[in-house]
Amino acid sequence: MTEVVVTLNGEAAHVPAPASLETLLEHLGLDPRAVAIEHNREIVRRAQLASTPVAEGDTIEVVHFVGGG
Amino acid sequence: MYIDTPFEIAGRQFRSRLMVGTGKYAGNREMVEAITASGAEIVTVAVRRVDLDRSKEESVLHHLSPDNFFLLANTAGCYTADEAVRYARLGREAGFNDFVKLEVIGDRETLLPDVAGLLEATRILVAEGFTVLAYTNDDLITALRLEQAGAAAVMPLASPIGSGLGMLNPYSIRTIKSRLSVPVVVDAGVGTASDACIVMEQGVDGILMNTALAAADEPVAMAHAMKLATEAGRAAYLAGRMPRREVAVPSSPELGMLA
């Protein structure tokens, strides 16, 4: 199995390849319904996660709701 | 008994005029208990990176069901229009509605809004179909411009975020309320129940607070007090207060006194 290196939430991360955003979330143990994903500065809708490949050098942000005012 | 009109933003009715934040509580259980005691339906949340080293840390969604609360994503911590727009888009994707509590902050010390950036972000987000609730200064002209830009509600501050100073300028708040057609929700700065009551007595549509609950000695008890104060202030506004006078006027008859 090969891997790709991406910038995930600001840090270098090694992701088993081939990967989609959906498999990345699975790998991270995250529920897609509780997060939002930005892929190279573009928001990816939940329905598109499985069909969006993760490539070497991608920048990915995974966010969720935390306490705030 | 006077029956109030429903509290409505962008055609959607809400059960409480009190909106609360979810930040700065000592624990999630206390947060949920306080929010429940406040009676609030609209609850603000922030958008932040998932902590991947501790991914078992739960999102606030694990504690507040969107079935019971209307989760209002904010853009807190954003200092430019572009940044706020980015956070708003992420919040819409992570959340359950197209409402955003839009903050564009201009200064780290006072956390006062950057009104130029706020107007710019409002225009962009309104064009993208967002329902924008804009956190702003207690400045009439900015409030009017935000309404013209399509904000669904304008949220002038009582005093700086987290300060607990109460309402510094009731005249400005009343003027903004009297001139806008969209709902006016006073956001930030209340410290205790009397502050909330005075805010609501100005006739504004609603009030939003976070630190006043989270930083109270007993957040759940303060949430209860704030619920009562919000309702009392609203009821007093609807009742219409007596005129202020510089001289005393006796409450008992002057006729019939003994000679």
The one-letter amino acid at B237: Y
In a domain? residue A41: yes
Using a CB-CB cut-off of 8 Å, the residues of chain A touching B96 are: none
Any CB–CB contact under 8 A between A65 and chain B? yes
The complex's ipTM?
0.93
Domains of chain B: 11-239 (3.20.20.70)
The shortest C-alpha distance from A27 to chain B (Å) reads 11
Residues B151 and B126: beta-carbon distance below 8 Å: yes
Using a CB-CB cut-off of 8 Å, the residues of chain B touching A36 are: 47, 90-91, 93-94
Give the per-residue pLDDT at B62: 83
Give the per-residue pLDDT at B60: 87
Closest-CA residue of A relative to B21 is A69
Is A9 within 8 Å of B55 when comparing Cβ atoms?
no
Neighbours of B165 (CB within 10 A): 15
In a domain? residue A8: yes
In a domain? residue A69: no
Encode pLDDT of A10-31 as tens digits.
Answer: 999 999 989 999 999 999 888 8
Structural domain total, chain A: 1
In a domain? residue A34: yes
- Here the CATH number for the domain that contains residue A20 is 3.10.20.30
Closest-CA residue of A relative to B47 is A65
List strand residue ranges (DSSP E) for B7-152, in order.
7-9, 12-14, 18-20, 42-49, 70-74, 99-102, 131-136
Closest-CA residue of A relative to B52 is A28
Give the per-residue pLDDT at B56: 57
Residues B37 and B224: beta-carbon distance below 8 Å: yes
Any CB–CB contact under 8 A between A27 and chain B? no
In a domain? residue A68: no
Using a CB-CB cut-off of 8 Å, the residues of chain A touching B25 are: 67
Nearest to B23 among A35, A61, A68 (CB): A68
Write out the residue range of the structural domain in which residue A20 sits.
Answer: 2-63
The shortest C-alpha distance from A63 to chain B (Å) reads 4
Catalytically active residues of B are 101
In a domain? residue A10: yes
What tens-digit pLDDT sequence spans chain B (259 residues)? 668 899 999 999 999 999 999 999 999 999 999 999 999 999 999 999 998 886 556 788 889 988 999 999 999 999 999 999 999 999 999 988 999 999 999 999 999 999 999 999 999 999 999 999 999 999 999 999 999 999 999 999 999 999 999 999 999 999 999 999 999 999 999 999 999 999 999 999 999 999 999 999 999 999 999 999 999 999 999 999 999 999 999 999 999 999 8
Q: Identify the CA nearest to B107 among candidates B153, B161, B68.
A: B161
CA distance B63 to B218: 20
Is A68 within 8 Å of B59 when comparing Cβ atoms?
no
